[in-house]
Chains A and B, each alone.
Chain A
Amino acid sequence: MKLEIAGKSFGGTPVLGAISLTVAPGEVLAVTGPSGIGKSTLARIMAGLDHDFDGTCSGFGRVGMVFQNPTLLPWRTALDNILIATGCDANAGRDALDHVELGTRQDAFPGQLSLGQQRRVALARALAANPDTLILDEAFASLDEATAGRMRSLAQSILQGSHYRTILITHNLVDVVHLADAVLLLGQHPAIVLAEHKIPTPRPIRDLKAEMAVVRQQLHWQGSDIQ
């Protein structure tokens, strides 16, 4: 899988500069940076939703995406949302819901679920697509800390030993140290990779506070909008 961006503009305004990244199967790469820097634009390019850029993007295979908003069909049940988007059979859809601990809510409409539950349905939908690349775009944002914590633990157990290439778009260093194997920091205008850091300690045995301090130091990041 390879992404080489020479530049990306909106209406003549450059948003992304030269950015190059690769992710190996089973690896989780976090992309972080301040709000509005272009993280979601990068995610859209990787998901194949935006082709209007200079550069190449190849080898992502089948993409499963969890959007910043859950983006579910409100007129369909949780299970139908998975079946319609992925084309998988009902058993695989139920398994995906079981995986995110929502097996008992398969007949609920999205409006009957909390935001955290909707995010889990969106995660189940991405997993049921049997993706080669999983893109999580601010998947834990706007949740209360307890729910976000449960979502991170759930994502950690799903990603542990998985074969997906995972790209985690986040402005939250807690997400990074919980889930990522490597992290890129985007900055400047247009955005480029300012720093990158690999986290060698396996995810389940990390000392999160110490790891956060190391990541902050390695990324040389002092900004307040990365938590």
Chain B
Amino acid sequence: MPPENSRAGIYKGLISLAAFLGLWAVMAAIVQDSSMLPSPNRVAQVFWSEALSGEIAFHMQATLARVIAAFVLAMSIGSMIGIAAGRNPGFNLWAAPWLIIFLNLPALVVIVLCYLWIGLNEVAAIAAVALNKIPMIAVMMREGARTLDPALDDMTRAFAIPRLTSWRHVIVPQLAPHFASAGRAGFALIWKIVLVVEFLGRSNGVGFQIHLNFQLFDVARILAYALGFVALMLVVEFLIVQPWERSASKWRRAGTAR
């Protein structure tokens, strides 16, 4: 993307964000009930006071740790199942019905069952989130593994490239776009499910705070915690996910034959 277009895109994004805040402020002014719909200014004040007290950092840290643990677990297990199913039609015949069952099991059911069977603890919370996302990641990675180039498989075998080298330089780069899609989709959903898990059975985290403030009918605090975590996820997207994607696809932008 040329720099002018990129700059224009940033300006348009900022104007759109300002319009959202403006609309919110207008709605809050019309409602005139800060317990029902606090203004952006009021939410910012609450966020700031929670930040100064260290509360928001403590709860965000707890939620982020759960998001990362569940994400790593779901990506690892989901990718292994998906790649095996995509590369081995025989295994896929066994795995496909399980994936369909788990894909259609409501997240709430999995969370409740994990809490009932494992107990109200960290293991149950993280297992519930990971179990919810493993089937989706497995299905996405299975489709990716099915698109692996058989000609490159032949090349790998003809030159007897060692298995580890082949995975690192031949297979994983082909799967990189699918890892990125599965990772992005997984991350976006995992943090939302983590909030539900915390809402239902943890004593810290953003989800717990939302539960607490729901009981206290404190909408400003609910919005402060929710928007704070959204901001954190956007930082992760811009500082980690997008730079990694750019680096992984550098060869695509290298130009064409001269």
A152 to B140, CA, bound (A): 45
Q: With a CB–CB cut-off of 8 A, which chain B residues contact A85?
A: 155, 159, 161
Q: Does B53 contact A (CB under 8 A)?
A: no
A65 to B12, CA, bound (A): 53
Per DSSP, are chain A's interface residues mostly helix, strand or loop, or mixed?
loop
Q: In residues 177-226 of chain A, which contact B (Cβ within 8 Å)?
A: none
Contact of A67 among B155, B173, B255, B258 (CB under 8 A): B155
Q: With a CB–CB cut-off of 8 A, which chain A residues contact B255?
A: 109, 111-112
Smallest CB gap from A129: residue in B: B159
A114 to B162, CA, bound (A): 29
Q: Does B52 contact A (CB under 8 A)?
A: no
Q: Does B152 contact A (CB under 8 A)?
A: yes
- Interface-centre pick from B151, B155, B170 (highest chain A CB count, 10 A): B155
Q: With a CB–CB cut-off of 8 A, which chain B residues contact A64?
A: 159
User: Is the interface on chain B under 10, 10 to 19, 20 to 34, or 35 or more residues?
Assistant: 20 to 34
Q: Are A84 and B158 in contact (CB under 8 A)?
A: no
Q: Does A76 contact B (CB under 8 A)?
A: yes
Q: With a CB–CB cut-off of 8 A, which chain B residues contact A112?
A: 254-258
Q: Are B158 and A47 in contact (CB under 8 A)?
A: yes
For chain A, the count of residues having a C-beta within 8 Å of the partner chain is 29
What string of 1s and 0s marks CB contacts (under 8 Å) between B138-161 and chain A?
A: 000000000000011011011111
A62 to B159, CA, bound (A): 8
Q: Does A24 contact B (CB under 8 A)?
A: no
Q: Are A111 and B154 in contact (CB under 8 A)?
A: no
A69 to B252, CA, bound (A): 19
Q: Does A48 contact B (CB under 8 A)?
A: yes
Q: Are A109 and B155 in contact (CB under 8 A)?
A: no
Q: In residues 203-258 of chain B, which contact A (Cβ within 8 Å)?
A: 251-252, 254-258
A43 to B166, CA, bound (A): 22
Q: With a CB–CB cut-off of 8 A, which chain A residues contact B165?
A: 84, 87
Q: With a CB–CB cut-off of 8 A, which chain B residues contact A59?
A: none
Q: With a CB–CB cut-off of 8 A, which chain A residues contact B258?
A: 112, 114
Q: Are B254 and A71 in contact (CB under 8 A)?
A: no
Q: Does B169 contact A (CB under 8 A)?
A: yes
Complex A-B: 30 CB contacts under 8 Å: A49-B157, A62-B160, A63-B158, A64-B159, A65-B155, A65-B158, A67-B151, A67-B158, A71-B154, A71-B155, A73-B152, A73-B169, A75-B173, A75-B251, A76-B169, A84-B161, A84-B165, A85-B155, A86-B159, A109-B254, A109-B255, A111-B251, A111-B254, A111-B255, A111-B257, A112-B255, A115-B257, A117-B257, A125-B159, A129-B159
Q: B residues bordering A, Cβ < 8 Å?
A: 151-152, 154-155, 157-162, 165, 169-170, 173, 251-252, 254-258
